[in-house]
Amino acid sequence: MDAFIRSVMGNKFFILFVATALGLMIGRVKIKGISLETSGALFVGLVFGALGYKIDNVLFTFSLVLFVSAVGLLAAKDIGKVIKLYGLKFVMLGIIITFSGAFATYILTLLHQGSLDPYLVSGTYTGALTSSPGLAAALEATKNNPNITIGHAVAYPFGVLLVILFVHLAPIIFRIDVKKELEKYRMEMKQGETTEKAKGAPANEKFNLLSYTIVLALGIIIGNIPIKIPGIATPIKLETTGGVLISALLLGYLGKIGPLSTRMSKEVLATFRELGLAFFLAIVGIESGAGVVEVVKQSGVSLMIIGFLAGVFAELVGFLIGRYVWKINWILLVGAICGGMTSTPGLGAAIDATGTDEVATGYGATYPMALLFMVIWTILLHTILG
């Protein structure tokens, strides 16, 4: 019997599946309407890692590819429509919010006079903006350094909490009448309607495995192209994460690879996204759990402060520019801020705070560009600090 238990507990797939299942169960628990959702797998994984369990890097890479490709293909079809309706405002917000967080992280790190591990700082940035793709990019760029995940895990709760508080408190602080904003938004949508309905909605595509694997292969090629950044000696690469994301967005938007369709079933892609994310978070937790306690003892307070201030700065910059420079309706802007922070829990809170799921329009418009630039700024931040 002992040999049987050791055999089961020594099986890495078993550990992965159990950690993921427990994380998803914990993620469903709601406290005052707030839950960890899929991110529960990260924290259960940290516990398993602290107990000494390990997972293969091949599983790590496969899970992040599954997640990022699904996100890109799901978001791709809306890019053209959003640009036609709103110009480049939401695209720019995705860039501005993620850059603001990276800039604040960099400045705050300099104030610590080099006392913090750059790997921890890169992870703190991705945690403050609650970005799993950013975490994936940082891990890949650093050969899966565990301090990346530790920094992410320390800052992540603050990132989630900040977005949730912001969407509820901003209308009070800045005296925004949410009901009037919703009425204005719906009027704007009626005035901006096109002939999309007349053309008829496209049929729901089936999942095409051949197209999907071509998207992944092209992403690997894109991810390995060296990109020269002025002022930085070493060229950077988007690696698998950024490459696959660009490939999925590009081919998903075009809709075809020759005779093959790249518009695929939402249901299948949503399943891939959740499966890949759950496995990815569990794996990085398992790989990093052993070092969490020690790092929190040594640098936990500093990392928490950096994560908190970087998150606040990113949200405020996005809000002030979106609201007072570009005059974006609050219903769209609150979704865009959540998208810029790549925060799914924040989107749920925004829907609850405004009383409408129409905030998802701003979220979907900003999210793809925010994901892409989270990857770019994460790699750049690590390169500069390293």
| Tens-digit pLDDT profile for residues 36-53 | 777 788 789 888 988 888
Q: Which of the given ranges, 131-135, 216-220, 346-350, 371-375, has the highest pLDDT on average?
A: 216-220
Helix (H, G, I), strand (E, B) or coil at 259: coil
DSSP string, 91-125: HHHHHHHHHHHHHHHHHHHHHTTT-S-HHHHHHHH
On the question of pLDDT at 349 being above 90, the answer is no
Question: What is the tens place of the pLDDT at every residue in 293-331?
Answer: 666 676 667 887 888 888 899 999 999 999 999 989 898
Report pLDDT digits (tens) over 56-68. 777 878 887 888 8
Q: Which of 22-36, 189-203, 224-238, 256-270 has the lowest mean pLDDT?
A: 189-203
The type of residue at 140 is E
The arithmetic mean of pLDDT across residues 165-183, rounded, is 88
Q: Which residue has the tokens 């914990």?
A: 26
What percent of the chain stands above pLDDT 70? 84
Arithmetic mean of pLDDT over the chain: 81
Q: Is residue 197 packed enough to be buried (19+ CB in 10 Å), middle (13-18) or exposed (0-12)? A: exposed
Q: Which helix (H) or strand (E) holds 260?
A: strand 260-261
In this predicted structure, the answer to whether residue 333 has a pLDDT above a threshold of 90 is yes
Flag whether pLDDT at 204 surpasses 80: no
Does residue 374 contact residue 133 with C-beta atoms inside 8 Å? yes
Q: Closest by alpha carbon to 364, among 341, 327, 335, 322? A: 335
Record the pTM. Answer: 0.67
Q: Is the Cα torsion angle 121, 124, 128, 132 positive or negative in sign?
A: positive
Structure letter (DSSP) for residue 34: B
Residue where the block lists tokens 């994301």: 245
**Domain boundaries defined on the chain:** 54-193+202-385
Radius of gyration of the chain from its Cα atoms, rounded to whole angstroms: 21
Round to whole Å and give the CA distance between 281 and 20. 8
